[in-house]
Amino acid sequence: MSPASPNEEDTTSSCYLPPPVGEPVAQATARPPAPEPPRLPRGVTSWASYAQPADGEPGATPTATSEGPEHGTGTNRLATAALWCGIGGFIPVAAVAAVVLGVVALRQMGRVVRGGKASAVAGVVLGSVWVVGWVAILALGATGAPQRDADTGALTPGARVEVVDLQGGDCFDGLPASADTTVTAVTGMPCAGSHEAQVGTTLTLPDQPWPGRDQAAALAQDACSTKVGRFIRDQDHERVALTVIYPSTLPDWRRDRGVSCVLVADDGGRLTGTVLKNR
């Protein structure tokens, strides 16, 4: 049937929509539906807020590299050892070990992160304190020689003096109350003032086998009696008595056979001023 004229109403023909220019007829007549956009993740309202910034942009998460420290498990054993050595630092070797082990442990934990950092730090601190203390003790020991006046050689009052370091003319306090008591150190006193005793002279017993305590005392007494008299002032002979400080054990005898010939007040009191000639 031919198309109706423009002035007539066509009730039987269908309208025809030609395809767009350049598209095949088959595509125009059978175009597939447009794909749906991908769904946003839960909690994200737009793709713009979901997009991650690129490396180097503000908010970007740095890419993991192999240059950072590793993370291990457990506690660093050297850190624990450093802590225990620090606690036992009253032994000099342990004090030094605490510092060394603690430093090594901290360096290891800089490469492999593990527990024990507090123990390592505590070990270093404790060990350092002990080391400083031991150095101070050794320094005092090194300077523990008798303190004497540079001009006169007299002992500084209050100086603690080992008996083996006593010299002729030294005045001191600290003799034991009993003759059988061992004395290792005395306290220096000024000879011009009050003091318990004064060294008349010192001597060394002959080299011979250990004779025993009683015989060693007798040898020292005889040697001092022979030698010390000429050092005492004439007016003081009657007011002083002789006692001796001598090696009273086998180890002392082997180490030093030195004897101090000591003068004390004959009445058991204290001396005032020197009792020696030229002092």
DSSP string, 71-131: EEEEE-HHHHHHHHHHHTTTSHHHHHHHHHHHHHHHHHHHHEEEE-HHHHHHHHHHHHHHH
- Give the model's confidence band at 11: pLDDT under 50 very low, under 70 low, under 90 confident, else very high: very low
SS3 content of the chain, % helix, strand, coil (to 5): 35, 20, 45
Which residue type, as a one-letter code, is found at position 230? R
179-219 residue pLDDT tens: 777 888 899 999 999 999 999 999 999 999 999 999 999 99
Question: In residues, how long is the chain?
Answer: 279
Q: What are the beta bridge partners of residue 199?
A: 262
- Enumerate the H helices of 146-186 as residue ranges: none
In the predicted model, is pLDDT for residue 277 greater than 70? yes
Is-contact 199 170, C-beta < 8 A? yes
Contacts of 207 (CB under 8 A, 6+ apart): 257
Residue, of 213 and 74, whose pLDDT is higher: 213
The helix-helix angle for 92-111 and 77-87 (nearest 10°) equals 160
Q: Which of 43-52, 82-91, 218-227 is predicted with the least confidence, judged by mean pLDDT?
A: 43-52
Give the pLDDT confidence score for residue 108 in this predicted structure: 86
- Integer Rg of the chain from CA: 51
Q: Span 76-104, mean pLDDT?
A: 89
Angle between helices 92-111 and 117-142 (to 10 degrees): 150
> Between residues 54 and 130, which one has the greater pLDDT?
130
Summarize the confidence of residues 252-272 as an average pLDDT: 92
Q: Alpha-carbon torsion 227, 232, 234, 236, what sign?
A: negative
pLDDT at residue number 12: 46
Lowest mean pLDDT, pick from 71-75, 110-114, 152-156, 173-177: 71-75
Q: Where are the alpha helices (DSSP H) in the chain?
A: 25-29, 47-50, 77-87, 92-111, 117-142, 213-227, 250-255
The confidence band for 28, taking pLDDT boundaries of 50, 70 and 90, is very low
Closest CA to 130 of 156, 95, 83: 95
